[in-house]
Amino acid sequence: ETGESLNFIEHIVEEDLKQGYSRSDLRFRFPPEPNGYLHIGHASSICLNFGLGERYNAPVNLRFDDTNPIKEEKSYVEAIKRDVEWLGFSWDTERYASDYFQQLYDWAVLLIKEGKAYVDSQSSEEMAAQKGTPYEPGTESPYRNRSVDENLELFQGMKEGNFEEGSHVLRAKIDMAAQNMLMRDPIMYRVLHKAHHRTDTDWCIYPMYDWTHGESDYIEQVSHSLCTLEFAMHRELYDWFLDQVVDSGKLRPKQREFARRNLSHTVVSKRKLLQLVEQGVVDGWDDPRMPTISGMRRRGYTPEAIRNFADTVGIAKRENLVDVSLLEFHVREHLNKIAPRVMGVLDPLKVVITNYPEGEEEWLETENNPEDESAGTRRIPFSREIYIERADFREEANRKYFRLKLGKEVRLKSAYIIKAESCTKDADGDITEVQCTYDPKSKSGSGTEESKRKVKGTLHWVSIPHAVETEVRLYDRLFTDESPDTHKDKSFMELINPDSLDVVKGYAEPGVANAVVGDRVQFQRLGYFCVDPDSSEEKIIFNRTVGLRDTWAK
Ligand code: ATP
Ligand code: MG
Ligand code: MG
């Protein structure tokens, strides 16, 4: 092994290899429920499981945990596959818990025959009242000692659709006095007269998570079944269910737990994200403000950045909150290397260069990416009338203001040095135009003495007659609170940032007209932007991915 540090799950695997597992025994899975889109928390789990697959050259299955037809949909299955692939991982086989419905049923029948499962015909309220508390044993169901024959007949009746929802459940007969409440005769099956996105109406009983998950791991011969901490108490039940079916000579899966990834200023729960979608707070699962993989993709995040983030943060044994600015740092770091630079102005102020000949233009050379020489150069048009950023001009300002002010010079990026001579205002006193003069000998890269003259401040700009008008969507955090799910007296829905989206009209250099959906650029001095799929032939729309610096006021 190299000197790199292993995470605690990798230590567990290493230990198992020392204790007799062979490398070919190793197999992992990523098991999403198709009841929503994947989010940044899932990305951590994906990186963990597929990372193990890469490290040990072991297969990783994509298993849909599709046992609840009420909340699951085919469209979610498709979105999940797209997102895992986009992150850059490929699964060994695509599996579905629903593939195992018959096997799970057969095993349940076996448990009944062995006196280890029974049909309970009480209401869910009655069963809940009998559960007891962690300090007191529960009460046994009056149906607990039904005969095997009666149980078999009822269970078959449940399967054949003879009973209403809620009339019967199948329970494992374990121990109503167990310390671990989950071991107090847990439910294995419930009646649900609902069509399933894969098995349609073949089944009207559906297996519960605990009964399904470990057995599915066993069927697939998954060696390490990694889940989040809230399942730690379920491990005993996972093991009990496996005890009922594991054959000697076959590999017995192990459940091990790691802490969920929580990210600041957002929620990572499909249920809560669904609420944002359904209540129209956002414009769908892939809204660029969502912490979903598809939202981050649409916003312009790269798979590399998300993976680097997941690798840097790693996995933990205890939950903690990671600041979203760390994710943004990785996005910026990657985009800095790959995003071509372009000039765009988002809050335009007209500048007229009075000594530049009217009706003339010239094309100036500029670098595409100073971080990447192989990115080459391009030409951008310059003319008498340009836009600069409104915030880049002041009539008067102190000596620390290195942008344009009356009587002072700045350099226009890749162009000339200009000097502000005067400005025009409207009736409200707002500046509508700045008149400048330029130094014709100061052209960038021309080698003249004037071109080498040092002036404090370089501005981005666009030539007005050549500019492409664009819509620019500026995003801010979706929540005003650092941890909206755990706020002491407000629900996350009350903590939504009312200003999370600002739509402005921007102007960009003409080459931008050729950009296609998904293209990522850096608007110089402004940040990274990505072409949104809402763009059309007539209108190009940019999403602001992230600013150039972390400017969020703490
Ligand atoms: P949600 O509450 O968002 O629906 P879930 O755990 O129910 O999350 P699943 O589709 O069951 O969602 O999750 C698939 C896998 O991803 C599981 O192994 C789960 O433990 C893991 N996972 C889900 N959320 C996170 C998270 N925030 N951090 C790390 N892993 C996660
Ligand atoms: Mg789940
Ligand atoms: Mg869930």
CA of 95 to the centre of ligand 3 (A): 18
Whether residue 86 is found in the same domain as residue 214: yes
ipTM: 0.97
All residues with CB under 5 Å from ion ligand 2: 33
Catalytic status, residue 260: yes
Whether residue 169 is found in the same domain as residue 190: yes
Whether residue 335 is found in the same domain as residue 483: yes
* β-bridge partners, 96: 64
Residues 108, 189: Cα–Cα separation, whole Å: 9
Number of domains in the chain: 3
Whether residue 217 is found in the same domain as residue 319: no
Domain range spanning residue 65? 24-258
Q: What is the mean pLDDT of each successive set of 10 residues along the chain, which is 554 residues long?
A: 78 96 97 98 98 98 98 97 98 98 98 98 97 96 98 98 98 98 98 98 98 98 98 98 96 97 96 97 98 98 98 93 96 97 98 97 96 95 98 94 95 97 97 98 94 93 98 97 93 96 98 96 97 96 92 42
Domain boundary among 258, 290, 320: 258
Q: For residue 209, say whether it is annotated as part of any ligand binding site.
A: yes
Whether residue 31 is found in the same domain as residue 132: yes
Whether residue 366 is found in the same domain as residue 334: no
Neighbours of 378 (CB within 10 A): 17
Catalytic status, residue 278: no
The per-residue pLDDT for 5 is: 84
* Token duo for residue 550: 């972390």
CATH number at residue 373: 2.40.240.10
Whether residue 413 is found in the same domain as residue 315: no
Catalytic status, residue 270: yes
List C-alpha distances in Å: 7 to 48, 49, 324, 338, 503: 9, 12, 22, 30, 43
Q: For residue 180, say whether it is annotated as part of any ligand binding site.
A: no
Q: What is the pTM of this model?
A: 0.95
Residue whose CA is closest, atom 27 of ligand 1? 41
Task: Give percent helix, percent strand, percent coil of the chain, each to the nearest 5.
Answer: 30, 25, 40
Q: Tell whether 229 is covered by a domain.
A: yes
Neighbours of 236 (CB within 10 A): 16
Domain boundary among 433, 460, 487: 460
Whether residue 334 is found in the same domain as residue 450: no
Residues in the ligand 1 pocket, defined by CB under 6 Å: 31-33, 41-42, 44-45, 65, 227-228, 260-261, 268-271
* Token duo for residue 205: 């009983």
Residue among 249, 104, 222, 268 nearest 170 (CA): 104
Residues 469, 479: Cα–Cα separation, whole Å: 30
Q: Tell whether 12 is covered by a domain.
A: no
